[in-house]
Chains A and B, each alone.
Chain A
Amino acid sequence: MTKSNDQSRSGGSSRRQVLATGLGAAGMGAASTLLPTRRAWAGAEKKLKIGFISPRTGPLAGFGEADPFVLDLARKSLAKGLTIGGDTYEVVFLDRDTQSDPTRASQLAKDLINGAKIDMMLTTSTPEVVNPVADACEAAGMPCLSTIEPWESWYFGRGAKPGQPCPFKWSYHFCFGVEQFAQTYLSSWNGDVKTNRKVAALAPNDADGNAVRQHLFPILRKAGFDVIDPGGYEDGATDFSAQIAHFKREKCEILTTFPIPPDFTRFWRQAAQQGLTRQMKIVEVAKTGLFPSQIEVLGPLGYRIAAAAYWHPVFPYASPVSGLTSAQLATAYEHQSGHQWQQQLGASMSLIDAGIAALKASGMPTNKVALAASMGKLKTTTTVGVVDFTTGPVPHVATTILIGAQWIKSKPGSKYKLDYNTIENIEDRKVPVQAKLLPYRMA
């Protein structure tokens, strides 16, 4: 922010100089004074304000951990302004923390739209953040681009109905969905680790849980896996004995689950006490196990848990905005923050990549109709790979890839407790596979 202030101040002084020059040369004719004045105006006055809403504190804080770093990177990269259609715009990011509260997310969005008068909204991480923000934008006619919430939750969780026309005009979303989970899971589970193909499926009665129950489990069944689903539980449940007994009785050797992180910690500890962990050969989690901290709390129970990755430093894609490759991005973050890289780093970067690409493609970034239209036609490569809105499963949605990955105990001498290796790449063969899937085993 201070940077942008400094800039506009220096821009102001240069305008004054130009005006003074122009006045001095007034006798030379109007045309000669007009031209330099207009150019100076372009540098100093044209501003693009971008809202960026994510969760930095509260239960979803893990997602927002790297956002200050990513925003800082974007501000530095765009410090010289953004040239679109011959005009140079100063780019200002107005970042806000929802405190993991959907009510606050909605209020922040309205404040940015009506108070700060932003030109575009970017938002990321979970339905509790993205849905209220996207709804506020949709209601106010504000172009909104979002990511990191399975697209089904974004589309159907906001009132769109299958088979009916898309009810949205201003909000666009790119993320993986059920189909991407299905592909990477089938690729992982049909690999080298042999199982009895009996899958313990633990999914809560919430947005993501219901989406996978309706759409993912049938695909897995069709692919020859026996999916044992004891039914939805409520988020925040404290006792999983019934489900554990059920899975033990069925002799399941694969676990697939979509819990909020504290629920998984509770479930998995109870599973260890009650002997379920011993019969498991593949433990595949989603929604939790995204970040090192969520696995570290499990201690030895966390080693060899698999969790599909939406970004990884081995991704062969670079960020067009920052110019950094995925590997450089991870290294820069680890260097600056002292924390291990985490996958939201790449996703938040890709959100800014895609947002800037949409602004550029619009030709008229301050025209909201043009900007929304350019989002709908956007086809670009970001840190997480290709984002293509022209081939999405439903209008206003683009899908991105998931790559199978597994947490393992890091090698001796490593700075961090865990390593997170890619184990398959069926959705994008350009992403290198680092290791083979190892059977689950308590260390």
Chain B
Amino acid sequence: MNQNYSIERGTSKIRILLAILLILVAGLAAGPLLLSANDLDHLIVLFIYIILAIAWNALAGYGGLVSVGQQAFFGIGAYAAIRLSYYGMPVYLALPLGGVAGAAAAWVASLFMLQLRGGEFAIGMWVLATLIQQLVSLDPLIQGSTGTSLLVLNHFSPAARRADTYWLTLAVLLGLLGLLFLLLRSRQGAAMQAIRDDEEAARSVGVAVAPTKRLVFVFAGFGAGMAGALWLAASITFQPGTYFGVQWTAYMIFMVLVGGIGTFEGPILGALLFFALETMFGATGVWYLIGLGAAAVGFALFAPRGIWGALEARMGWRLLPVGYRLVLVPESQHDAAASAAVQFDSHA
């Protein structure tokens, strides 16, 4: 090997993009001062969709765990928040604890669910979600499938409550993105991506598969639990059938498959797309759902890496530096900048 090489995490373009992202985040944080109530309501929904998408992507994209039962944690998050607030806990403390409850439930479930593989795991999670829904329905507060409402939120003025919920949702979203970002850049992240690419191979080179999967599972449980608690804050009504409905997982799968499974940016793109489609075509009812299903199947069959995956493969785009790039510097042109960049962590 005569070639010199260097390893870099980002390019100068990425630094510009990061600056743009920071400005965007600052703009979003100022939302309640600038935007109408209607815009805020919609942004809250969009943020929750993104949270759901990144949680499911972490699970399926990086952990290789395809679950159709993530609504279990979505429901637990909302249920825990409402239960705690009825015990007298301040509501804006109870809501984040809903996410913690989701994470705790995921940790307990991981003890036995992660023994299952592939299809068994997927269906087993659905069964678990149904079981948890039945258990929650036994709580006299929830009154079977009647449900109840988070009435304490009505003590705040509509504008204050909307702004608080918006900021909480934005903070959770950024926190989860940051956590995932750091996780992916850490040793654990390398292990996660190795498991994603080939579980057996990862095990053979000494990756601790079980603890890594558990970490991802708990992360996804926290994300879904937080999303459930935030959804409750936005809609007030808790009816178990709605929160434990399998449609939440269907939405997650759609967003991740279409956006780009196993990429950092893909689920965000998928959530934006899903949100836009719902806004435009949601009123058409059955046809909208058929369209969503068909699109998800189409992507799974013909573009398994989703929109972002395809863009990344073709253009080498990468908004956030979560991987490494190997930059080859040919001997004849020592001073030349990167003439060929090979992605170190490509999916192929």
Scoring B residues 140 to 160 as 1 if CB is less than 8 Å from chain A, else 0, what string do you get?
A: 000111111111011000100
B206 adjacent to chain A (CB < 8 Å): no
A65 adjacent to chain B (CB < 8 Å): no
Contact between A210 and B149 (Cβ–Cβ < 8 Å)? no
- Apart from A128-B239, A167-B151, what are 17 other A-B pairs with CB-CB below 8 Å? A103-B242, A139-B158, A139-B161, A153-B146, A157-B146, A157-B147, A158-B148, A158-B237, A159-B148, A159-B151, A160-B151, A205-B144, A206-B144, A207-B146, A211-B146, A232-B144, A235-B241
Contact of B236 (CB < 8 Å), options: A115, A127, A136, A232: A136
Chain B: minimal CB distance from A170 (Å): 9
Contact between A106 and B145 (Cβ–Cβ < 8 Å)? no
Contact between A157 and B143 (Cβ–Cβ < 8 Å)? yes
Chain B: minimal CB distance from A320 (Å): 32
A97 adjacent to chain B (CB < 8 Å): yes
What would 8 A/B residue contacts be, using CB atoms closer than 8 Å?
A102-B239, A104-B282, A127-B147, A157-B148, A159-B149, A159-B150, A159-B151, A205-B137
Main secondary structure of the interface of B (DSSP, over half): helix
Contact between A103 and B235 (Cβ–Cβ < 8 Å)? yes
Contact between A140 and B158 (Cβ–Cβ < 8 Å)? yes
Known A-B contacts A111-B38, A114-B37; A102 and B237 likewise in contact (beta carbons under 8 Å)? yes
Shortest Cβ distance from B130 into A: residue = A234
Contact between A158 and B149 (Cβ–Cβ < 8 Å)? yes
A141 adjacent to chain B (CB < 8 Å): yes
Contact between B45 and A107 (Cβ–Cβ < 8 Å)? yes
Contact between A131 and B38 (Cβ–Cβ < 8 Å)? no
B36 adjacent to chain A (CB < 8 Å): yes
Known A-B contacts A104-B282, A138-B154, A139-B161; A132 and B235 likewise in contact (beta carbons under 8 Å)? yes
A51 adjacent to chain B (CB < 8 Å): no
Shortest Cβ distance from B148 into A: residue = A159
A35-55 residues at the B interface, CB under 8 angstroms: none
B105-156 residues at the A interface, CB under 8 angstroms: 134, 137, 143-151, 153-154
B285 adjacent to chain A (CB < 8 Å): yes
Residues of chain B lying within 8 A (CB to CB) of residue A97: 283, 285
Residues of chain B lying within 8 A (CB to CB) of residue A131: 147, 149, 237, 239
Known A-B contacts A110-B41, A209-B144; A139 and B236 likewise in contact (beta carbons under 8 Å)? yes
Scoring B residues 24 to 47 as 1 if CB is less than 8 Å from chain A, else 0, what string do you get?
A: 000000000000111001000100
Known A-B contacts A57-B285, A127-B146, A209-B144; A158 and B151 likewise in contact (beta carbons under 8 Å)? yes
Contact between B38 and A114 (Cβ–Cβ < 8 Å)? yes
A58 adjacent to chain B (CB < 8 Å): yes
B286 adjacent to chain A (CB < 8 Å): yes
Residues of chain A lying within 8 A (CB to CB) of residue B134: 234
Contact of B149 (CB < 8 Å), options: A99, A128, A135, A211: A135
Scoring A residues 97 to 121 as 1 if CB is less than 8 Å from chain B, else 0, what string do you get?
A: 1010011101100110011000000
Contact of A167 (CB < 8 Å), options: B147, B154, B158, B285: B154
A147-161 residues at the B interface, CB under 8 angstroms: 153, 156-160
Contact of B145 (CB < 8 Å), options: A57, A140, A141, A207: A207
Contact of A139 (CB < 8 Å), options: B143, B148, B153, B282: B153
Residues of chain A lying within 8 A (CB to CB) of residue B239: 102, 127-128, 131-132
Residues of chain A lying within 8 A (CB to CB) of residue B237: 102, 106, 131-132, 135-136, 158
